[in-house]
A and B are shown apart, each in its own frame.
Chain A
Amino acid sequence: MSSQSQVLENFVKRLLASLDETNPQELAKVLQLVNPTSCKIIVNSTPFAQPGAFLELWQSSVVQTQHVITGMDYHVIPGTGTLICSMSGKVRFDESGRDKTGMDAVVPGAAGNTGTTGAGPSAKPRPLWGPYFGVSLQLVLDDRVLANDFNAVMSSLNYTMVYAPDDSLMDL
C-alpha cells in the first residue's frame, strides 16, 4: 500500500527518469504521460507548443542529465479533477563533451587517434557529471494520477533552473 503522495512522487520520478534517459525510445515514454489534446510545456521560460518538439530538442540538444528530487508538495483543486504539484530538486549534466549518442566534438583524426570518438555501444563511456543546478518544477495533473493511472494525465509542466554553479561548463 503506497499513499497518494508516494504515487505522485513515483510519477514525478518516472517523468524525470525518462528525461534522464539517453535512449530516444525511453525518452519518448514521456509522451504517454502527456495529455494529447493540450499540454503546456515551459522550460526555462521558453514555451513549447508541442510536447514532441520539446522532447526532440531535449534528445538532440541536451547532454545526458541526472535529476534528484529534494522536495515535493501538491494540492488537489476541488471540482476540477486536477491537482497541482510543485517539486524542487537538482540536476547535473554529463560534462564529458559527449552528446546523448556518445559523440563528441573532436574532429576525427585530429587528436592523432580516433579512440575518443564514437567508441560504439560496447564500450559506452561513462558520463562525467558536473556540479548540480537547482530545479523548480510545477505540474498540473489529472487527479486520477493518485489512483496510479499515469496515462495522459499531464496538462502542464513548468521547468525552471533556479540556481547555477559557476564551475559548470554548461551555458545556461
Chain B
Amino acid sequence: MNGTFQVANNVGFMAQQAALQNRVKVGVRGWQNATKQDLINFVSRKTRIAICDSYVEGELVVGYVNSRQDASSLLNWNGVRFAGNALRFEIIAEGNGMSNISGIPGTSNTIQLLKSFLFRRYNVQTRMLDLGNLKNDPELMSNGLFSSTSTQSKMFPALMKLASRESQLVVESVNLSNNSLRDVNGISSLAQTFPRLKNLCLANNQISRFRSLEVWKGKFKELRELLMANNPVVTDPMYKTEILRLFPKLVVLDSILLRDEAKLQSVYSIPTKIQQFFFETNELGQSSIDFVSNFLNLWDSDRAQLMGLYTPQSQFSVSVDSSVPSSSVPNADQNPSLSFYLSLSRNLTKISSEKTKLMRLATGQEAIDRLFRSLPKTKHLLQEQPLNYSVEAWSYPQVQGFIISLHGFFDEIEKPELDANKAVSSTAGRSRRFNHSHSNTTSKLGKKSFDRTWIIVPNQGHVVIASDLLTVRPYADGSWSKPTDTLPTSTLQAMPGQPASETPAPTLTPSVASGVPTSQIQLPPEIQAKMTPLQLDILNRLHNQTKLNAEYTYMLAEQSGWNFDVAIKGFQNSVQNIPQGAFL
C-alpha cells in the first residue's frame, strides 16, 4: 500500500517537473542563523537562481536548480554573506533524465507506465487519443494513479507533456468524456500540446460555465467538431452563440451542423496559395535562378566584380523598411539594428527633402560601387537554406528584358568598407546633429530580411542590370517557408528538382565576368539619357565589333531598326562604301 502511494505521489511530482529533465541537485551550507525559507528567498533575490523543492538534510539545505548552467553559476556565489555567515554551494547530483534526479524510486517507472498507457489509448488509423473515463482504467487504478483528487489534477498535465514529446503521436481527435470535469483548467494544456486538434469530445462531464472554456479562446484554430453533450452548460440559452465565438472554425457542435464548411474555408483562406517560385516561362526560371545565385555569390564575396553588369544608366538604391513585424511572426526580430542602412535609405515615404531623394539614388558604376561598399558585408544562404528564399520572374517588354524579384534573408558578417555616416557628415553640416545617435557602438551585425528587384536586359549571353532596388527590413521567417507537418524539411531539401538547391549552372558566370565591356562607346550625354539599356547594349556591341565611331555606330543601329543581327549584316554588305573617317 505504501509503495502504491509513493507512485501516486510521483505522478504529481512528475507533472510539475516533466520538462525539467536537466535539473541539478544542489546543497547549501552555512545558513544556520536563519530559516530555510529565508535562505531560499535570499538566494533567489541575490543570484536570480531559484532553488526548488528544497528540504533540510542535516546541516545542508538540499534542493534543485533548473540546469547545469544554473548550478555552475550558483557555485560562483560561494562565500556570499548571509545572516552573518559565508554560504557554500555544492553540486550533489547532476541529473540527466528523471530517474536520478530525486532519489525517489519509481519516477521513471511512472513515466514508463504513463507512456505505455498513452500508446495503448492511441489509435494510429483514426489518429485519436482516447482519454475517456480515466478513473476507471484498470491499469491506472491498479497503480493508484487516481487515488486522490490532487494526483488526478496533476496527472493530465503530465500526460500532455509526455504526449508532446512523442512525435509519432499524430493526434487529430481527443476523447475526454466521462472524466467528471467541472472545468477545463486541469486540461487546458491540451491546447499547447495539440494546437491543431480537429475533434474534441468532452461529453458526460460537469462543465457548467463558459468562463472555464475561455482559456481556449483563440486556441484550437483547426477545431472542427466539439461534443459537449451531458454537460450542464448545454442548457444555457447562449450556449451555441458562445461556443461559436470561442471556436471560430468550429463546424459541428453536438452532431449539429453550425457552420457551412465551404463558406468557412473561403472566408479564412486566401485563394492564391502562397508558393515559393513563379516564372513566366521555364527558360526564365532557369536563367533567373542562375542569375540570382551567381549575383549573390559575388555580392557576398567581391562586389566590385558585379560592376560589369551595370551601365552608366543603371540605377541602384536601398530602402529601409523599419517597421517591426508582429511578435507572432515566427522568429521576427523585435529589436532590429538598421543603423548601417538608415543614412543610405531612399525610403520615399520617410524622406521629404528632394535633394536627399536625389542623393540617395546611385546612377552609374561609380556611384553604385560606392553605395555597394557602404553596405555591410553579407552572406546569403541560398544553397544551404533554399526554402528561405522566394523568387518571381516575369517579362518587361518595354526594355525587352525581365524583372526578377527575390525575397529572403542574409547574415551580416562584417561592417561596411565605407562608413556612410562619415561620408555624409563631411558634405553637410546638418548631419552633425546625428553624430551622437549614430555612434558605431550601436550598430551590431545580424540577420536581415530583404526584397530585391532587378530589371535585367539580356542579350546573347550578355546581361545588363538596368535597375536594382533593395529593401532591407527586420528579419522574419518567410511566409512561404512554413514547415508542413507531413513533410520534414530534410526530405524537401533532398527532393530532386528543387531549383534553388541545385548547384548553379554556370551559364551566367562567364557573362558576369565578361560583362565588363571591352570599350564603352562614348555618346553625348543627352543622347545617352534617351536610350534604353537594350539600345545601349546593342550600340556597345556594334561599336566593339565594327570599330565604327560613335556617330556611325548610332546611324547603323538606327538604320537597322535597333536589331544587332540586321546591323551587322548591313555593315558587312556596305563596309567598302563606309568612309575611313567613320572608323576609330
Enumerate B281-323 residues with CB–CB distance to A below 8 Å: 313, 315, 317, 319-323
For residue B259, CB closer than 8 A to chain A, the reply is: yes
Q: How far is the CA of A74 from the CA of B468 in the complex (A)?
A: 10
Interface of B is mostly: mixed
Segment from B207-215, B508-516, B524-532 that makes contact with A: B524-532
| Choice from B271, B277, B449 contacting A57 with Cβ under 8 Å | B271
**Complex contact A75–B266 (CB within 8 A):** no
Q: Which of A88, A99, A104, A110 has the most CB of B within 10 A?
A: A88
Are A170 and B471 CB-contacts (below 8 A) given A45-B277, A133-B479?
no
Q: How far is the CA of A170 from the CA of B273 in the complex (A)?
A: 11
Q: How far is the CA of A153 from the CA of B450 in the complex (A)?
A: 27
**Complex contact A161–B240 (CB within 8 A):** no
**Complex contact A160–B405 (CB within 8 A):** yes
**Complex contact B259–A47 (CB within 8 A):** no
Interface residue total, chain B, C-beta cutoff 8 A: 86
Q: How far is the CA of A117 from the CA of B325 in the complex (A)?
A: 33
**Complex contact B398–A166 (CB within 8 A):** no
Q: Closest Cβ of chain A: how far from B309's Cβ, in Å?
A: 15
For residue A15, CB closer than 8 A to chain B, the reply is: no
Are A79 and B531 CB-contacts (below 8 A) given A47-B278, A110-B240, A171-B269?
yes
| Choice from A40, A78, A161 contacting B274 with Cβ under 8 Å | A161
Are A171 and B532 CB-contacts (below 8 A) given A88-B321, A105-B260, A110-B258?
no
**Complex contact A75–B403 (CB within 8 A):** no
Chain A residues contacting B395 (CB-CB under 8 Å) are 40
**Complex contact B453–A131 (CB within 8 A):** no
For residue A147, CB closer than 8 A to chain B, the reply is: no
Q: Closest Cβ of chain B: how far from A9's Cβ, in Å?
A: 6
Q: How far is the CA of A86 from the CA of B328 in the complex (A)?
A: 26
Contact with A along B443-460 (1 / 0, CB 8 A): 000000101010100000
Are A164 and B323 CB-contacts (below 8 A) given A42-B278, A105-B259?
no
Segment from B160-168, B345-353, B429-437, B571-579 that makes contact with A: B345-353
**Complex contact A163–B237 (CB within 8 A):** no
**Complex contact A155–B349 (CB within 8 A):** no
Chain B residues contacting A138 (CB-CB under 8 Å) are 403, 405, 453
Q: How far is the CA of A105 from the CA of B258 in the complex (A)?
A: 8
B320 to A, closest residue via Cβ: A71
**Complex contact B240–A111 (CB within 8 A):** yes
Interface residue total, chain A, C-beta cutoff 8 A: 70
B528 to A, closest residue via Cβ: A78
Q: How far is the CA of A112 from the CA of B17 in the complex (A)?
A: 45
**Complex contact B329–A170 (CB within 8 A):** no
| Choice from A46, A72, A73, A163 contacting B329 with Cβ under 8 Å | A163
Are A61 and B271 CB-contacts (below 8 A) given A111-B244, A161-B479, A163-B476?
yes
A→B interface (CB under 8 Å):
3, 5, 8-9, 38, 40, 42-47, 57, 61-63, 69-75, 77-82, 84, 86, 88, 90, 95, 97-99, 103-107, 110-113, 116, 131-134, 136, 138, 140, 155-156, 158, 160-172
Q: Considering the complex of A and B, which 9 residue pairs feature the smallest CB-CB distances, nearest first?
A: A71-B321, A79-B532, A45-B278, A164-B479, A105-B263, A105-B264, A163-B476, A45-B275, A73-B319
Can you show 16 pairs from A to B with CB atoms below 8 A apart?
A9-B349, A38-B397, A40-B394, A62-B271, A70-B349, A71-B321, A73-B347, A75-B467, A79-B529, A79-B535, A81-B398, A86-B471, A106-B258, A132-B326, A171-B269, A172-B270
Given A63-B268, A88-B473, A99-B266, output 15 extra A-B contacts at Cβ < 8 Å: A5-B348, A38-B397, A46-B273, A73-B317, A75-B317, A78-B529, A86-B453, A86-B471, A103-B263, A106-B258, A156-B403, A162-B451, A163-B332, A170-B268, A172-B273
